[in-house]
Chain A
Amino acid sequence: MSAPATSTLSIRDLHASIGEKPILKGLSLEIPKGEVHAIMGKNGAGKSTLAKIMAGHPDYTVTSGDVLLDGESILGMEPDVRARLGLFLAFQYPMEIPGVTIANFIRAALQARLPQGEELEATEYYAKLYAKMDALSVPRNFTSRSVNEGFSGGEKKRCEILQMAMLEPSYAVLDETDSGLDIDALKIVSAGVNALRGPNIGMLVITHYQRLLDYIVPDKVHVMSDGRIIHSGDKELALKLEAQGYDWVEKEYADAQSAL
């Protein structure tokens, strides 16, 4: 059951490095629209780096391989072009932008998606913004607060999901969206993510802990280690990893490699 290349986010044998140091060493992954995939792995496996490279962070150099969004290579594109094509990254550590209000920030992002000369309709925009905020339990007065400034961890993550809800991407990468959240915040954020699931979006959830996957139940789970995907399975794999750790997968992978 493989989706046609035109409706998948496809990562093909991706190699990338920061400076001279290789971080991704031949990573491949297919995320069809309509599915939620999870990437799990130890600290330092390169999970967050993968997210940044997909979004086009200038610190990393892709040395070989490709990332295709609905069949189109996005490597070499500026981060804003990738975003406007439909890729969204929910940051592990969202930046604070002093003096730029959430309302203005999201509006600028939406405005950038309109053809030249077309203005975003303000009334509709606010109606939609307030509806999404209500759904995510983000107080309405947050619209006039500076982006992420003085926000708690939970508020920052809710704000990331709010942006995702407003920008309606075709593919979303959620980087450690559960980090720093208490159980109540985790439930709210997960409910927000689940509400966005559907046939028109593919999601990649990067997480350290199985806990998040109790709330955002994935279609597939991948294990990342040393810049590669070393094992894939269904949602049960997450539970097994939680119970048994990562050593067994790494050993299996190493055995398989040496057998080649």
Chain B
Amino acid sequence: MSLSATSEVSIEEIPPVGSTGVTGLAPRPDSSPSSRWPQWFQQDQQKAWETFTTLRQPKRNDEPWRFANLKAIDLSDFQLAGPVQDPAALIRRSEGLSKTCAKMIFANDEMIHRDAQGLPNNVLLIPLDQAACEHEDLFRKSFMSSEVRLGSKKFSALHRARLSTGAFLHVPKNVVIEHPIEIWYWVEGEQASIFPHTLIVLEEGASATVIDRFVSAHNERSLAIAVNDLMLGGNSRLTYVGVQNWSDKVTAFHLNTTEVEKDATSTALQMNFGGSYVRGESDSHLLGEGSRSVMLSVNPASGTREIDQRTFQDHFAPRATSDLLYHNSLADSSRTIFAGLIKVEEAAHETDAYQKVRNLMLSDEAEANSMPGLEILADNVRCTHGATSGEVNEDELFYMMARGIPAKQAAQLIVRGFFGTVLERLENEHLQTHLGTLLDRKLNL
């Protein structure tokens, strides 16, 4: 396949942006990053750009944006990111798990490092653009293939239009990858915007663990619109963790779709450590009988951070399980928003669906909004959902202080424990320990 074909979009062809005001993100004829992509995808991107410019900004009355700070999603002064200054330094700083079997590092949407030697031969861990060229059918079938249903259609279109590269993991039938794969996405530059993308396809019986890490090179105000799509074939196992550690000034979107076939299990955890406004959308499709999706999130919010999470547990097949557990701690004047829907379609008998959101309030100025929802069209299902908000338990605090632990540290330990119960759900001691250390650092323990 030829890689030379490019279709550079001249500035004249761009529809007027009008109220969207995002000229800084418009395609630039001089430095088109799309040159690595096949022709058909470039056309696709052009259409996506049109979609982006056509769709209006979310408004206050739009249900999927209820309670959200709409000012935060005004993208008008962001620019496409240029090359980073010192890729070698970022590679050095990409220190995560002690034991991985493959690593990819992206900086401002360019791949700056790839080590996949520890992977079995027939496993693909390649840049997305390469996947589009060399594995077109596979790519077309799995790349952003389902409808964006949780509100960010416009931003998803922008992601597709401005996508430069990303990670594509394909694990063939019955191949088990023992150690985690770690993928780093760095952003550098004031007002820079990046579009990280991780696409994971597990064939029948395959198994893998993937950690995405999202990091700012400096304390800068940037934009990230990240997409991760997790496609699980029958009887496969995936553990996916997104460790979001953007600077406190970043506006970030983390948009996920998970599709789980028969008897497969997806366990996905999103940890939000940074960002100014962070929008998370997680859409799980329980497609096969006996499939399982565990949806976890750990959000230690502080400062003025806003974490805005929307989720969908959509059961299409019988005897499937979805299990959502989100824990938020809210210090200072931070805000969280959770809106989640469990939907049990007509055919999905004997569904087990759980949804639990817990808000640990650490400040009177903080604000937690929870909107759980249920829609059941099948018989004989077991669904529970609930959201709780509470403060640090005084009796627990007294108990710990009676052991000599100072109040502040005791409270931190309680918060740490509150998140620890979510990490336990990964059922992976190595990961749990590592992520626990990150949490300790965040909570100053």
Interface residues of chain A, those whose CB is within 8 Å of chain B, are: 55-58, 78-80, 82-84, 88-89, 91, 94-101, 104-106, 108-109, 112-113, 146, 163, 167
Contact = CB atoms under 8 A, between A and B. Distances in A.
Contact of B414 (A56, A97, A163): A97
B396 A95 contact: yes
Contact of B403 (A96, A99, A101, A163): A163
A78 B407 contact: yes
A99 B424 CA distance: 8
A165 B419 CA distance: 29
A58 B394 contact: yes
Contacts of A163: 403
B162 to A, nearest CB: 40
Given A80-B406, A97-B413, A99-B424, 17 more contacts: A78-B407, A82-B402, A83-B402, A83-B404, A84-B404, A88-B402, A95-B393, A97-B396, A97-B400, A99-B416, A99-B419, A105-B413, A108-B413, A109-B405, A112-B404, A112-B405, A167-B403
A163 B413 CA distance: 17
A79 B410 CA distance: 12
Interface string B396-429: 1011111111110110011011111101100000
A106 B400 CA distance: 10
A94 B403 contact: no
A99 B401 contact: no
Query: Which 6 A-B residue pairs are closest in the complex by CB-CB distance?
Result: A99-B420, A99-B417, A83-B404, A100-B417, A79-B401, A95-B399
Given A80-B410, A109-B405, A100 B395 contact: no
B148 to A, nearest CB: 34
Nearest to A173: B402
Given A108-B409, A112-B406, A112-B409, A83 B417 contact: no
A83 B398 CA distance: 11
Nearest to B423: A99
A61 B405 CA distance: 22
A156 B414 CA distance: 19
Contacts of B394: 58
A80 B420 contact: no
B418 to A, nearest CB: 6
A52 B419 CA distance: 29
Contacts of A113: 404
20 contacts: A56-B402, A58-B394, A80-B404, A80-B406, A83-B402, A84-B404, A91-B399, A91-B402, A95-B399, A97-B413, A98-B418, A99-B418, A99-B424, A100-B413, A100-B417, A104-B413, A108-B403, A108-B409, A112-B406, A146-B420
Interface in B363-419: 393-396, 398-407, 409-410, 413-414, 416-419
A96 B417 CA distance: 11
Contacts of A98: 417-418, 420-421
Contact of B402 (A79, A101, A108): A79
Among B396, B402, B409: residue with most chain A CB under 10 A: B402
A98 B401 CA distance: 16
Interface centre among A78, A84, A105, A108 (most CB of B within 10 A): A108
A94 B398 CA distance: 11
Contacts of B403: 80, 83, 105-106, 108-109, 163, 167
B407 to A, nearest CB: 7
Point out which of A84, A88, A109 has the most chain B C-beta atoms below 10 A from its C-beta: A109
A243 to B, nearest CB: 35
Contacts of B400: 97, 105, 108-109
Contact of B399 (A84, A94, A104, A112): A94
Interface in B20-47: none
Q: Please indicate which of the listed interface residues B394, B395, B400, B410 has the most CB atoms of chain A within 10 Å of its own CB.
A: B400
Contacts of A108: 400, 403, 405, 409, 413
A58 B413 contact: no
Contacts of B401: 56, 78-80, 83
B417 A89 contact: no
The listed residue with most A CB atoms (<10 A of its CB), out of B393, B395, B399, B407, is B399
A74 B398 CA distance: 16
Contacts of A146: 417, 420-421
B421 A80 contact: no
Contacts of B419: 99
A108 to B, nearest CB: 5
B18 to A, nearest CB: 49
